[in-house]
A and B are shown apart, each in its own frame.
Chain A
Amino acid sequence: MELTVNSVSCSVQSPPLTSLLTVLREELDITSPKAGCESGGCGACTVLVDGQPRRSCLTALCTLDGSEVVTVEGLGTPEDLSRVQQAFIHHYAAQCGFCTDGLIVAATAYVGGGGSADTGDIGEALAGHYCRCTGYVKILEAVAAVARGDTFDTASTASSANNTYVTIAGAES
């Protein structure tokens, strides 16, 4: 089976019904797609297949001959981060990080397809991605900022537009 993964041509040896998740993690040692549930429920294994976000745990290898697969490793590097990656750092949209790779892949497809900064639209596009740490607010803010065309300073963290800062009397000093 011939695949292009992150712009590299690969000849894959796994049996035809092997999931793309297993091929990526166990045969190709690409570990950003995570085995969160292995039943399509959590979104942590999401990769791009010919530009579309797909659950790699539910995608059989035999359906992919000649396809182009992109994981988060293929979207940017520490030296050359994509805008979505920058936004996730600047907006503190990653906490434990386990769901982050799948979310960045899905968000990249969303903004690449001209998605708006409307958090309702973003929520719809990212539905099915579970994050147990953040409560989603900062993820929505990060993706909206990319859609708006913001620039990002990854050496600092943005303040959250949704935070209500309350001054506690006696706690100022």
Chain B
Amino acid sequence: MKVVGARLPRYDGVGHVTGRTTYVDDVRVPGMLHAAALRSVHHNARITRLDTGAAAAMAGVHAVVTHADVPLLVYGHLSGAGIPGDEPLLAKDHVRYRGQPIALVAADTVDIARAACAAIEVDYEELPALFDVRLGFDGDAPVINDTFGNWYDQYEGNLDVRQIRKGDIDAAMDAADLIVSGVYRTQSVEQVPLETQVCVAIPEPDGRLTIHTCTQAMYFSLGVVCSHLQLPMSQVKMVGGTVGGGFGGKVDTASDTLTALAARKSGQPVKWRWTREEEMLASGNRGPWHMEIIDAVTSDGWILGRKMLTIHDAGAYGRFSVYGLTKHSFHHTGAYSIPNLHFDGYVVFTNKIPTTAMRGYGVTGLSTAIEVHAERVAKELGMDPYEFRLKNANRVNDTSPNRIAYEDPSTVEVLQSLAAATGVELGDGLRAMTREQRSGDMLPDHLVAQIGSGGGH
């Protein structure tokens, strides 16, 4: 306990305040080329012709990388977990979101690289695009994703929906004094790190690659790079750890793989730094969530059951969305114990930027929905919202939707602290409440069967 409670100095404070911290963009290598990307101008289109001849012939251009240069074009961010890959590293014959990369040019200067991108000839056949997840299920909706269709269809091998069933939802609905339903939709959010996506890749004389990366997930990115390039991990050295902000947006391996390919093709070190516009247009963001909640409640404020439908907007490709939805499903009761559950969740594809992690992947928008809904239920019951929440708050050995017993739930104390910090007077009973296992008035019949023991976190 030398560290807990001690006011330690920042280990990187001196570097940060004197300009000495070396971010990826600050890495200098002799002979370094600069890269720029050609990106789709359409949301959904077939590529009918791609001609890089004129660009490759320009003075100062050292490499033009297209789909034909990628040893393994399609690799999934969750391939390691058995989820098939669906996203090509560079578009081949179809672009599915505006900003999707088609080619990367490495040149003496970034201005030459951009001019060369403009000289690449692309013919498109534009197709109808889909932006609203709710329309993805329509029979006449355009097909967005070649691998999965319009929604992911391989949960547990062959299910097209992430399901949670716990207790008896029909009995809960029958026994309820009040049914409260609500629909909640959250928007997409860009993480906006001040440092845009950036990479420096250096081909070493022994054939290995050194990659200066801004990734938040070093070994994951190493695996993604080596998979696309079909190289053993011993051939790639990743240098990272200094990240100019990420917030989830640097979990996807956004720039390392393509920069590495350009470095190998040109035989020279290459830097690729995205512009702010590219970061906003094409880097993975927090996806929108469409959530429908139906709660079965009693007049004295117990939540007997919850029926929920979630549609997650993954954007054009899967990336981590299946993981995000699964995590979402495990958390769909929030900080409250609800014994009877019926959850259906879908990952739906649209012609938008593929979505990814951001601060509480799958859960942040969900928490908004759950808390707004809790407020509505309390209002409809005419009950103090603190009392409603504290009654239903997770307690030791209550179980989560995926049947994990909570060892140390802090909901009760968080609510009490919130009340104290905002000047809300709680009654004696609510002030005296603790996280300890339910008993007496706090253990009504409907919560007995869900009590577990010896659980995880």
Assess the B26–A36 pair: CB atoms within 8 A. no
* Set of chain B residues within 8 Å of A38, measured between Cβ atoms: 275-276
Establish whether residues B421 and A166, one from each chain, have CB atoms under 8 Å apart when the complex forms.
yes
Q: Which B residues are CB-close (under 8 A) to A81?
A: 14, 17-18
Binds A, one of B43-51, B84-92, B240-248, B261-269: B240-248
> Would you list which residues of chain A between 131 and 173 have a CB under 8 Å from chain B?
131-133, 154-159, 164, 166, 168-171
Let me know if A94 and B421 touch, CB within 8 A.
no
- The stretch from A61-69, A97-105, A109-117, A120-128 touching chain B is A97-105
Shortest CB distance A94–B (Å): 4
Cα–Cα distance between A42 and B413 once the two chains are bound (Å) = 39
A96 B413 Cβ-Cβ under 8 A:
no
Q: Knowing A85-B18, A97-B15, A170-B413 touch, does A35 contact B245 (C-beta < 8 A)?
A: no
Chain-A contact segment, one of B168-176, B189-197, B284-292: B189-197
Residues of the B chain whose Cβ atoms lie less than 8 Å from the Cβ of A158: 7
Task: Bits for B246-276, please: 1 = Cβ < 8 Å to A, else 0.
Answer: 0100000000000000000000000001011
**Complexed CA–CA distance, A120 and B193 (Å):** 25
With A29-B28, A34-B23, A38-B276 as contacts: A97 and B16 at CB distance below 8 Å: yes
Bound-complex Cα distance A170 to B191 (A): 35
* A34 pairs with B13, CB closer than 8 A: no
* Whole-angstrom distance between the Cβ of B247 and the nearest chain A Cβ: 7
Q: Give me 9 A-to-B residue pairs in the complex whose CB atoms sit less than 8 angstroms apart, sorted by A's number.
A: A31-B22, A31-B25, A34-B23, A34-B195, A42-B194, A42-B276, A89-B14, A92-B13, A97-B12
Complex: how many Å from CA A131 to CA B14? 18
Contacts A34-B195, A130-B192 aside, 6 further interface pairs with beta carbons under 8 A come to A32-B19, A88-B13, A97-B15, A101-B17, A157-B10, A171-B413
A72-B13 contact in complex given A34-B244, A38-B275, A98-B244, C-beta closer than 8 Å = no
B195 close to A36 (CB less than 8 A): yes
Chain A-chain B contacts (Cβ-Cβ < 8 Å), number: 126
Any B CB within 8 A of the CB of A37? yes
- Which B residues contact A (CB, under 8 angstroms)? 7-10, 12-23, 25-26, 28, 191-196, 243-245, 247, 273, 275-276, 410, 413-414, 416-417, 420-421, 434-435
Instruction: Flag if A94 contacts B17 (CB, 8 Å).
Output: yes
Residues of A within 8 A of B414 (CB): 168
* A97: contacting residue among B21, B275, B435, CB under 8 A: B21
CA A171 to CA B7, docked complex, whole Å: 19
* A164:B421 contact, CB within 8 angstroms: yes
Cβ of A44 under 8 Å from chain B: yes
Known: A94-B10, A132-B247, A156-B8. A72 touches B19 (CB 8 A): yes
Does A154 contact B19, Cβ atoms closer than 8 Å?
no
Residue of B nearest to A166 (CB): B417
Alpha-carbon distance between A30 and B417 when the two chains are bound, in angstroms:
48
Q: Which residues of A contact B247 (CB under 8 A)?
A: 132
Instruction: From B12, B195, B273, B414, name the one whose CB has the most chain A CB atoms within 10 angstroms.
Output: B195
Q: Which of A29, A72, A169, A170 sits near B18, CB closer than 8 Å?
A: A72
CB nearest to B18 among chain A residues: A78
Residues in chain B near residue A101, CB distance under 8 A = 17, 19
Q: Which residues of B contact A157 (CB under 8 A)?
A: 7-10
Note all chain A residues with C-beta closer than 8 A to B20. 78
CA of A159 to CA of B245, assembled, Å: 23
Contacts of B193 in A (CB 8 A): 96, 98, 132
Q: Are B17 and A31 in contact (CB under 8 A)?
A: no
